[in-house]
Structure 1
Amino acid sequence: MKAITVEASQQQWHRELAKRSKQAVEYIPLSQALGRVLAQDLIAQSDMPPFRKSPYDGFVIPYVANQQRFKVIGLIGAGEVFEGPVAPGEAVRIMTGAPIPADCDTMIMQERCEFDGTYITVRGDIVRGDNIVPQGEECSIGETIIKAGTYLDAGVIAVAVGLGYATVPVYDPLKIVVLTSGREILPVGEPLTAGKIYNSNLYMLTNLLKEHSFYEVTTHHVSDDPAVLTEEIALVSKLSKAADVIISTGGVSVGLFDSMPAIYEALGARELYNRVLMRPGAASYGGLIERGAGQYTLCFGLSGNPTAAYNGFHLLVLPILRHCQGYGRSELMSISLPLGAPIHKKNPFDRYVQGVITYTADGAVFMPNRVFTSSALLGLAQANSLTKLEQGVNNYEVGDKVPVMLLKYYN
């Protein structure tokens, strides 16, 4: 068996994919860009802001030492420009965000002024240059503002609009095939009979993909019946012709009816590993179908057990999907937190435990799921993070610091 650690699996994938062609690029309106990955840098097309502006409602003046009273000669609303000259001793009323007239160098907040309709009298000292937002405070024309590989979320899109972009270049989405397997699997909605279970992994994997903005997904269930293996191979081969990625769950171990390695071999996949030195999820597969001209189909076989499949998706699959999709950073975010409950478990391999980041009077802690065996299902409803327990370290106490990978940012 080709056994490999989680870290080594990621390194091997990156070596194998060094010659892979990048995803094609298309230009789309920003209204459709949420969840896509930027394919080219976005450059400032003007200074930001493009003019001096007022940060508050109030009055702008040419500074005059020791003068507190000014005649108001005009009004500037947001989006308007005051064209006339402003002489010493004069003021222009201004609204938040409006451009500062060329003759003015100081802005006085409305709350400091008494205005009789013609003149203002300013309370307190006036400081020259106060409350002027300078042109180019945030950036100058030509600066790189958003780098290629950035995930387009609401904040990034707002910045792109502010920079004047109506369309943006993004990478084409990965095309993914999800395969579930097993004769014990039933579609949800059918009566649950002896020895059967519902296909929760199908919903888990397809929705995990959607959570990470992978929407081009086709699904199929493989029966694991040896009598129809040839037909299954033909159908999966047809489904995978245009696929960038195949993700399967179940059928990757050494059982009599585990058919996925045989299917991957029949598809022409070159095996990279067939066992990962981790618990749960040691029964995992990685393979690569070379299509020529820098094109590949990546094959990931995950355990059929829910906790193992969930962990395997985040540890083995998701970082590589993000890399292939063009993300500038593909690894999961990790922080160090104290344990909120002890863990006493033999760890012949690195063990990855699901849990919840929660908060106490002393700050955030990682609270491990009560049951974290390979086949556990119910803990998926609350897990928002994952910790790694090192190989050979069998006892962790409350307060011990552990690395915690963030899986989601809610709950």
Structure 2
Amino acid sequence: MSSVEEFRTEIRDWLREQLGGEFAGLKGRGGPGREHEAFAERLAWERHMAAHGWTCVGWPREHGGRGASIEEQIAFHEEYALADAPARVNHIGEQLLGPTLIAYGTEEQQARFLPPIVAVQELWCQGYSEPDAGSDLANVRTRAELDPDRGTWRVNGQKIWTSLAHESQWCFVVARTAPGSRRHAGLSYLLVPMDQPGVEVRPIVQLTGTSEFNEVFFDDARTDAAHVVGAVGDGWRIAMATLGFERGVSTLGQQVGFARELAALVELARHTGALADPLVQDRLVRAWTGLEAMRAHARRGDVSPSVAKNHWARWHRDLGELAMDVRGAAALLAVPDARQPYELDDWQRLFLFARADTIYAGSDEIQRNIIAERELGLPKEVRV
């Protein structure tokens, strides 16, 4: 048995044992549009994983990880998804901020921030998008000024669509630190504590009726002068590196979830009779071939992050639309709920939340510009 097969067997057996005990009720809980589900219990589950060495498996051993190879990381994410284990609460710290600090952080930053991520003692959120700087991230207006007398950065501005900000202790913030600078120049990548005066988090109610996204307002919020990752003014390069980590091997687990959704949709089409419609059959086949292509490219690693993101986002959005057509008129009905205006079923939630897939983490339009300019070498878009 190869080392990868041994690793896969180890995590599969551990998940089977642990999810058959006190954590059995968490199977399938959480995820996009459902982050409110059993959050405290999922946090306890992830700390349980940490105690047994199953967080940050791809990180180097010297930083608290297992030093798992790419093949072993793929095995971990696939087995985690196949076990229907609960959605992770520490994704942003483990998959985004942690690798960024390992690559670009100082020894002091690594010593301070990496151990609490491994132990799931501090949760992170991402302070990128703003009301006027969503897909066009280089247009950020949040500013930070260095106060040499106090040895701190003073941060002022607003971030939006900040996932799980209401549950996070820290935020990595792209802010303009060079007065009068424009676009990519003059930005810095700051690590800012959330639990302090001057930080206000306001939930955003989504189409799904849930509020995992937030607005975050910084009003003379403070962070230590040493909490800038990379050089001052080099924030754009660091921020782009973080986005590259975001689209790494963990997406293979996402694809296992996609495959489960597609299989369930085929069964639903059989049940409703929609499978007899040649157009529905064609769309289901196209969904299957699209998923197979997605998985093949992810395993080979021969597709740029922008191409991969554009592919899976449109695929998932289209699957939600297909689900509504398969369900027919029943898709228009929602169940009343005493806690909120209505309760959605899984297909309705998929359809509504997947509308955001082509927007967050870089909209389709921005991804296509990146593909055209950086992959195909076409002229840059003219900016007025």
Question: After TM superposition, is the score higher than 0.5?
Answer: no
Structure ranking higher in strand proportion:
1
Scaled by the length of structure 2, what TM-score is found?
0.22
- Higher relative contact order, structure no. (Cα contacts within 8 Å, ≥ 6 residues apart): 1
Which structure: larger Rg? 1
Structure ranking higher in helix proportion:
2
